[in-house]
Amino acid sequence: MKDFISKLLTGMSIGIVVALIPNALLGEMLKLLIPHFPILQPIFDITVYLMSMLSILIGVMVGMTFKLTPIQTASVGLAAMVGSGAITKTADGLFALSGIGVVLNTGITAALAVLFVKFIGDKLKAYAILLIPTLTILFPGLIGYNLLPFMKKSTGLLGDGIAYLTTLQPVVMGAVIAVAFCLIILSPISTVGVATVIMLSGIGSGAANLGIVATGVGLAIASYKANNLGTALAHVLGSPKIQMRNFFMKPKIVFPMIITAAILGGLAGALNIQGTPMSAGFGLSGLIGPLNYINLAEGGWNLENTAIMLSTFLILPIALNIGLIYLFSRKLKMIKAQDYKLDFE
Protein backbone atom coordinates (compact mmCIF):
# COMPACT_ATOMS: atom_id res chain seq x y z
CA MET A 1 0.00 0.00 0.00
CA LYS A 2 2.84 2.40 0.85
CA ASP A 3 4.43 1.78 -2.56
CA PHE A 4 1.07 2.26 -4.30
CA ILE A 5 0.42 5.60 -2.57
CA SER A 6 3.98 6.71 -3.25
CA LYS A 7 3.64 6.06 -6.99
CA LEU A 8 0.18 7.64 -7.09
CA LEU A 9 1.38 10.85 -5.42
CA THR A 10 4.47 11.00 -7.64
CA GLY A 11 2.34 10.80 -10.78
CA MET A 12 -0.11 13.38 -9.45
CA SER A 13 2.69 15.78 -8.53
CA ILE A 14 4.23 15.65 -12.00
CA GLY A 15 0.86 16.10 -13.71
CA ILE A 16 -0.05 19.08 -11.53
CA VAL A 17 3.21 20.94 -12.12
CA VAL A 18 3.28 20.28 -15.88
CA ALA A 19 -0.31 21.51 -16.29
CA LEU A 20 0.01 24.63 -14.13
CA ILE A 21 3.51 25.91 -14.83
CA PRO A 22 2.91 27.49 -18.30
CA ASN A 23 0.30 29.85 -16.86
CA ALA A 24 2.37 30.36 -13.70
CA LEU A 25 5.35 31.52 -15.76
CA LEU A 26 3.52 33.54 -18.41
CA GLY A 27 0.09 34.47 -17.03
CA GLU A 28 0.71 37.69 -15.12
CA MET A 29 3.31 38.93 -17.60
CA LEU A 30 0.90 38.39 -20.50
CA LYS A 31 -1.87 40.25 -18.63
CA LEU A 32 0.42 43.29 -18.50
CA LEU A 33 1.42 43.04 -22.15
CA ILE A 34 -1.91 42.18 -23.80
CA PRO A 35 -3.40 45.71 -23.57
CA HIS A 36 -0.42 46.93 -25.62
CA PHE A 37 0.08 43.79 -27.74
CA PRO A 38 -3.35 42.16 -28.36
CA ILE A 39 -1.69 39.56 -30.58
CA LEU A 40 -0.55 37.83 -27.35
CA GLN A 41 -4.13 37.10 -26.21
CA PRO A 42 -4.26 33.60 -27.80
CA ILE A 43 -1.12 32.59 -25.89
CA PHE A 44 -2.70 33.62 -22.60
CA ASP A 45 -5.93 31.79 -23.49
CA ILE A 46 -3.95 28.64 -24.27
CA THR A 47 -2.19 28.67 -20.89
CA VAL A 48 -5.58 29.05 -19.16
CA TYR A 49 -7.44 26.25 -20.89
CA LEU A 50 -4.43 23.93 -20.69
CA MET A 51 -4.86 24.05 -16.90
CA SER A 52 -8.18 22.26 -17.40
CA MET A 53 -6.17 19.39 -18.93
CA LEU A 54 -4.63 18.82 -15.51
CA SER A 55 -6.83 15.79 -14.79
CA ILE A 56 -5.83 14.00 -18.00
CA LEU A 57 -2.18 14.73 -17.29
CA ILE A 58 -2.54 13.38 -13.76
CA GLY A 59 -4.08 10.17 -15.12
CA VAL A 60 -1.40 9.74 -17.78
CA MET A 61 1.46 10.49 -15.37
CA VAL A 62 0.04 8.08 -12.79
CA GLY A 63 -0.23 5.41 -15.49
CA MET A 64 3.38 5.98 -16.52
CA THR A 65 4.54 5.87 -12.90
CA PHE A 66 2.91 2.44 -12.56
CA LYS A 67 4.52 1.39 -15.87
CA LEU A 68 1.19 0.56 -17.51
CA THR A 69 0.86 -0.16 -21.21
CA PRO A 70 0.06 2.77 -23.55
CA ILE A 71 -3.60 1.69 -23.83
CA GLN A 72 -3.94 1.30 -20.07
CA THR A 73 -2.22 4.64 -19.44
CA ALA A 74 -4.49 6.50 -21.87
CA SER A 75 -7.54 4.84 -20.28
CA VAL A 76 -6.48 5.95 -16.80
CA GLY A 77 -6.17 9.49 -18.21
CA LEU A 78 -9.72 9.34 -19.57
CA ALA A 79 -11.13 8.00 -16.30
CA ALA A 80 -9.34 10.73 -14.33
CA MET A 81 -10.91 13.36 -16.58
CA VAL A 82 -14.37 11.86 -16.00
CA GLY A 83 -13.92 11.98 -12.23
CA SER A 84 -12.36 15.44 -12.09
CA GLY A 85 -15.40 17.61 -12.71
CA ALA A 86 -13.26 19.81 -14.98
CA ILE A 87 -15.90 19.62 -17.71
CA THR A 88 -19.46 20.71 -17.02
CA LYS A 89 -22.65 20.66 -19.08
CA THR A 90 -24.40 23.99 -19.47
CA ALA A 91 -28.15 24.63 -19.55
CA ASP A 92 -27.86 24.83 -23.35
CA GLY A 93 -26.47 21.30 -23.52
CA LEU A 94 -22.97 22.50 -24.32
CA PHE A 95 -19.86 21.21 -22.60
CA ALA A 96 -17.54 23.77 -21.02
CA LEU A 97 -14.18 23.66 -19.27
CA SER A 98 -14.58 24.49 -15.58
CA GLY A 99 -11.17 25.16 -14.06
CA ILE A 100 -8.94 22.31 -12.94
CA GLY A 101 -11.71 20.29 -11.29
CA VAL A 102 -11.42 18.61 -7.89
CA VAL A 103 -7.82 17.40 -7.70
CA LEU A 104 -8.46 15.03 -4.78
CA ASN A 105 -11.24 13.25 -6.67
CA THR A 106 -9.06 13.13 -9.79
CA GLY A 107 -6.41 11.28 -7.77
CA ILE A 108 -8.94 8.87 -6.28
CA THR A 109 -10.38 8.10 -9.73
CA ALA A 110 -6.90 7.58 -11.18
CA ALA A 111 -6.07 5.18 -8.32
CA LEU A 112 -9.26 3.18 -8.96
CA ALA A 113 -8.49 3.10 -12.68
CA VAL A 114 -4.98 1.78 -12.06
CA LEU A 115 -6.33 -1.00 -9.83
CA PHE A 116 -8.97 -1.81 -12.46
CA VAL A 117 -6.62 -2.09 -15.44
CA LYS A 118 -4.13 -4.09 -13.37
CA PHE A 119 -6.94 -6.46 -12.37
CA ILE A 120 -7.88 -6.95 -16.04
CA GLY A 121 -4.23 -7.36 -17.01
CA ASP A 122 -3.84 -9.07 -20.36
CA LYS A 123 -7.08 -11.07 -20.09
CA LEU A 124 -8.65 -9.23 -23.03
CA LYS A 125 -5.69 -9.92 -25.34
CA ALA A 126 -6.53 -8.73 -28.89
CA TYR A 127 -9.69 -6.95 -27.67
CA ALA A 128 -7.78 -4.71 -25.22
CA ILE A 129 -7.80 -1.64 -27.47
CA LEU A 130 -11.56 -1.97 -27.93
CA LEU A 131 -12.64 -2.73 -24.39
CA ILE A 132 -10.16 -1.28 -21.87
CA PRO A 133 -10.93 2.43 -22.57
CA THR A 134 -14.70 1.82 -22.46
CA LEU A 135 -14.64 -0.43 -19.38
CA THR A 136 -12.32 1.96 -17.52
CA ILE A 137 -14.77 4.81 -18.11
CA LEU A 138 -17.79 2.69 -17.19
CA PHE A 139 -16.40 1.42 -13.89
CA PRO A 140 -13.68 3.49 -12.15
CA GLY A 141 -14.59 6.55 -14.23
CA LEU A 142 -18.24 6.52 -13.21
CA ILE A 143 -17.37 5.70 -9.60
CA GLY A 144 -15.22 8.83 -9.55
CA TYR A 145 -17.99 10.81 -11.25
CA ASN A 146 -20.47 9.80 -8.56
CA LEU A 147 -17.99 10.55 -5.77
CA LEU A 148 -17.55 14.08 -7.09
CA PRO A 149 -20.43 15.75 -5.15
CA PHE A 150 -19.14 14.28 -1.87
CA MET A 151 -15.58 15.45 -2.58
CA LYS A 152 -16.86 18.94 -3.38
CA LYS A 153 -18.74 18.90 -0.09
CA SER A 154 -15.61 17.89 1.82
CA THR A 155 -13.74 20.81 0.25
CA GLY A 156 -16.62 23.02 1.36
CA LEU A 157 -16.33 21.76 4.94
CA LEU A 158 -12.61 22.52 4.93
CA GLY A 159 -13.47 25.94 3.59
CA ASP A 160 -15.90 26.47 6.46
CA GLY A 161 -13.10 25.71 8.90
CA ILE A 162 -10.84 28.24 7.19
CA ALA A 163 -13.70 30.75 7.19
CA TYR A 164 -13.98 30.38 10.98
CA LEU A 165 -10.31 31.26 11.34
CA THR A 166 -10.97 34.63 9.71
CA THR A 167 -12.97 35.62 12.83
CA LEU A 168 -9.87 35.44 15.05
CA GLN A 169 -7.59 38.31 16.04
CA PRO A 170 -5.68 39.42 12.86
CA VAL A 171 -2.17 38.29 13.85
CA VAL A 172 -3.39 34.93 15.22
CA MET A 173 -5.69 34.50 12.22
CA GLY A 174 -2.85 35.23 9.81
CA ALA A 175 -0.50 32.73 11.47
CA VAL A 176 -3.07 29.90 11.58
CA ILE A 177 -4.35 30.45 8.03
CA ALA A 178 -0.78 30.58 6.68
CA VAL A 179 0.02 27.24 8.34
CA ALA A 180 -3.25 25.75 7.06
CA PHE A 181 -2.46 26.73 3.47
CA CYS A 182 1.14 25.56 3.91
CA LEU A 183 -0.27 22.07 4.56
CA ILE A 184 -3.13 22.23 2.03
CA ILE A 185 -0.73 23.11 -0.82
CA LEU A 186 1.11 19.85 -0.09
CA SER A 187 -2.07 17.78 -0.31
CA PRO A 188 -4.25 16.75 -3.27
CA ILE A 189 -6.72 19.48 -2.23
CA SER A 190 -6.77 22.65 -4.34
CA THR A 191 -5.82 25.79 -2.41
CA VAL A 192 -7.55 27.88 -5.06
CA GLY A 193 -10.68 25.77 -4.67
CA VAL A 194 -10.76 26.23 -0.89
CA ALA A 195 -10.14 29.97 -1.17
CA THR A 196 -12.81 30.57 -3.81
CA VAL A 197 -15.44 28.43 -2.06
CA ILE A 198 -15.40 30.77 0.96
CA MET A 199 -14.37 33.89 -1.03
CA LEU A 200 -11.29 34.30 1.14
CA SER A 201 -10.12 37.90 0.85
CA GLY A 202 -8.36 40.65 2.79
CA ILE A 203 -5.74 39.66 5.38
CA GLY A 204 -6.90 36.02 5.24
CA SER A 205 -6.01 35.87 1.55
CA GLY A 206 -2.69 37.62 2.13
CA ALA A 207 -1.80 35.19 4.91
CA ALA A 208 -2.76 32.23 2.72
CA ASN A 209 -0.43 33.53 0.02
CA LEU A 210 2.43 33.93 2.45
CA GLY A 211 1.86 30.40 3.77
CA ILE A 212 2.29 29.08 0.25
CA VAL A 213 5.32 31.32 -0.32
CA ALA A 214 6.92 29.93 2.85
CA THR A 215 6.32 26.39 1.60
CA GLY A 216 7.53 26.91 -1.96
CA VAL A 217 10.65 28.89 -1.07
CA GLY A 218 11.55 26.53 1.78
CA LEU A 219 11.17 23.41 -0.32
CA ALA A 220 13.16 24.99 -3.15
CA ILE A 221 16.05 25.70 -0.77
CA ALA A 222 15.86 22.32 0.99
CA SER A 223 15.58 20.29 -2.23
CA TYR A 224 18.29 22.03 -4.26
CA LYS A 225 21.14 19.72 -3.24
CA ALA A 226 19.10 16.56 -3.87
CA ASN A 227 17.77 17.64 -7.26
CA ASN A 228 18.83 20.54 -9.51
CA LEU A 229 18.17 24.25 -9.92
CA GLY A 230 15.31 23.81 -12.41
CA THR A 231 13.48 21.34 -10.16
CA ALA A 232 14.08 23.55 -7.12
CA LEU A 233 12.61 26.59 -8.90
CA ALA A 234 9.54 24.54 -9.88
CA HIS A 235 8.50 24.61 -6.21
CA VAL A 236 8.24 28.40 -6.39
CA LEU A 237 7.32 29.13 -10.01
CA GLY A 238 5.05 26.11 -10.32
CA SER A 239 3.64 24.46 -7.22
CA PRO A 240 5.00 22.99 -3.97
CA LYS A 241 2.64 20.06 -4.67
CA ILE A 242 5.58 18.56 -6.49
CA GLN A 243 6.67 17.36 -3.02
CA MET A 244 3.35 15.65 -2.16
CA ARG A 245 4.81 12.18 -2.18
CA ASN A 246 7.77 13.07 0.07
CA PHE A 247 5.51 15.03 2.44
CA PHE A 248 3.12 12.11 2.93
CA MET A 249 6.00 9.68 3.40
CA LYS A 250 7.90 11.97 5.83
CA PRO A 251 5.76 14.83 7.18
CA LYS A 252 8.67 16.14 9.28
CA ILE A 253 10.36 17.56 6.16
CA VAL A 254 8.03 20.57 6.28
CA PHE A 255 8.64 21.59 9.91
CA PRO A 256 10.88 24.52 8.86
CA MET A 257 8.27 25.70 6.35
CA ILE A 258 5.43 25.48 8.89
CA ILE A 259 7.30 27.72 11.35
CA THR A 260 8.17 30.15 8.54
CA ALA A 261 4.53 30.19 7.44
CA ALA A 262 3.34 30.98 10.97
CA ILE A 263 5.73 33.93 11.26
CA LEU A 264 4.86 35.32 7.82
CA GLY A 265 1.15 34.82 8.44
CA GLY A 266 1.40 36.77 11.69
CA LEU A 267 3.13 39.56 9.78
CA ALA A 268 0.27 39.57 7.28
CA GLY A 269 -2.05 40.44 10.16
CA ALA A 270 0.32 43.00 11.62
CA LEU A 271 1.16 44.72 8.31
CA ASN A 272 -2.31 44.43 6.72
CA ILE A 273 -1.12 42.33 3.78
CA GLN A 274 -4.21 41.57 1.71
CA GLY A 275 -5.30 39.56 -1.30
CA THR A 276 -8.37 38.42 -3.21
CA PRO A 277 -10.21 35.06 -3.40
CA MET A 278 -8.57 34.38 -6.77
CA SER A 279 -5.04 35.21 -5.55
CA ALA A 280 -5.14 33.35 -2.24
CA GLY A 281 -3.97 29.98 -3.54
CA PHE A 282 -1.00 31.01 -5.68
CA GLY A 283 1.80 32.41 -3.52
CA LEU A 284 4.72 33.48 -5.73
CA SER A 285 3.47 31.52 -8.74
CA GLY A 286 3.12 34.04 -11.56
CA LEU A 287 3.87 36.75 -8.93
CA ILE A 288 0.12 36.75 -8.29
CA GLY A 289 0.41 37.07 -4.50
CA PRO A 290 2.80 40.05 -4.31
CA LEU A 291 1.21 41.90 -7.24
CA ASN A 292 -2.24 41.59 -5.70
CA TYR A 293 -0.92 42.94 -2.40
CA ILE A 294 0.51 46.01 -4.16
CA ASN A 295 -2.70 46.54 -6.12
CA LEU A 296 -4.79 46.48 -2.92
CA ALA A 297 -2.41 48.40 -0.65
CA GLU A 298 -3.14 52.06 -0.06
CA GLY A 299 -0.54 54.05 -1.99
CA GLY A 300 0.21 51.30 -4.51
CA TRP A 301 3.84 51.15 -5.59
CA ASN A 302 5.17 53.56 -2.99
CA LEU A 303 8.43 52.95 -1.12
CA GLU A 304 6.80 51.55 2.03
CA ASN A 305 4.57 49.05 0.21
CA THR A 306 7.40 47.93 -2.06
CA ALA A 307 9.65 47.37 0.97
CA ILE A 308 6.93 45.35 2.74
CA MET A 309 6.31 43.28 -0.40
CA LEU A 310 10.00 42.48 -0.94
CA SER A 311 10.52 41.70 2.76
CA THR A 312 7.51 39.42 3.28
CA PHE A 313 7.35 37.71 -0.11
CA LEU A 314 11.09 37.30 -0.75
CA ILE A 315 13.69 38.32 1.86
CA LEU A 316 12.09 36.87 5.01
CA PRO A 317 10.92 33.58 3.41
CA ILE A 318 14.48 32.96 2.21
CA ALA A 319 16.19 34.03 5.46
CA LEU A 320 13.80 32.22 7.80
CA ASN A 321 13.83 29.01 5.79
CA ILE A 322 17.63 28.96 5.51
CA GLY A 323 17.97 29.39 9.27
CA LEU A 324 15.30 26.82 10.14
CA ILE A 325 16.49 24.26 7.59
CA TYR A 326 19.99 24.58 9.07
CA LEU A 327 18.54 24.11 12.57
CA PHE A 328 16.47 21.03 11.70
CA SER A 329 19.15 19.40 9.52
CA ARG A 330 22.48 20.22 11.19
CA LYS A 331 21.53 20.72 14.84
CA LEU A 332 18.43 18.59 15.41
CA LYS A 333 19.30 15.99 12.73
CA MET A 334 15.59 15.62 11.86
CA ILE A 335 15.82 16.17 8.09
CA LYS A 336 18.38 15.68 5.34
CA ALA A 337 18.67 16.73 1.70
CA GLN A 338 17.74 13.29 0.35
CA ASP A 339 14.34 13.54 2.04
CA TYR A 340 13.42 16.01 -0.72
CA LYS A 341 14.68 13.92 -3.63
CA LEU A 342 12.31 13.85 -6.62
CA ASP A 343 12.54 11.05 -9.16
CA PHE A 344 11.09 11.97 -12.56
CA GLU A 345 12.85 9.26 -14.53
Higher pLDDT among residues 344 and 266, named by residue: 266
Beta bridge partners of 89: 95
Task: Identify which has the larger pLDDT, 122 or 186.
Answer: 186
pLDDT in tens, 108-162: 999 999 999 999 888 887 788 889 999 999 999 999 999 988 888 877 778 778 8
Segment 247-263, tens digit of pLDDT: 999 999 999 999 999 99
Domain-wise residue ranges, the chain? 1-154, 166-345
Contact 318, 218 (CB under 8 A): no
Average pLDDT, the chain: 88
Taking only Cα atoms into account, the Rg of the chain, rounded to an integer number of angstroms, comes to: 21
Mean pLDDT over 93-117 rounds to: 88
pLDDT computed for residue 168 by the predictor: 82
- Quick one: average pLDDT of 55-65? 93
Distance CA 155, CA 104 (A): 9
Query: pLDDT value at position 68?
Result: 93
Decide if pLDDT at 196 tops 80: no
Residues 6+ positions from 86 with CB-CB distance below 8 Å: 52, 54, 55, 97, 98, 99, 100, 101, 106
Give CA–CA dist 302/103, Å, rounded: 39
Q: What is the pLDDT of residues 275-320, one digit of tens each?
A: 887 778 778 877 888 888 988 888 888 999 999 999 999 999 999 9
- Check residue 18 and give its pLDDT: 85
Residue 63's pLDDT band (cuts 50, 70, 90):
very high
Q: What percent of the chain has pLDDT above 70? A: 99
Instruction: Answer whether 0.75 is exceeded by the pTM.
Output: yes
Compute CA distances 16 → 163, 252, 264, 331, whole Å. Answer: 26, 23, 26, 34
pLDDT computed for residue 345 by the predictor: 60
Predicted local distance difference test score (pLDDT) of residue 31: 83
* 83-87, 247-251, 324-328: range with lowest mean pLDDT: 83-87
Q: Is the pLDDT of residue 25 over 90?
A: no
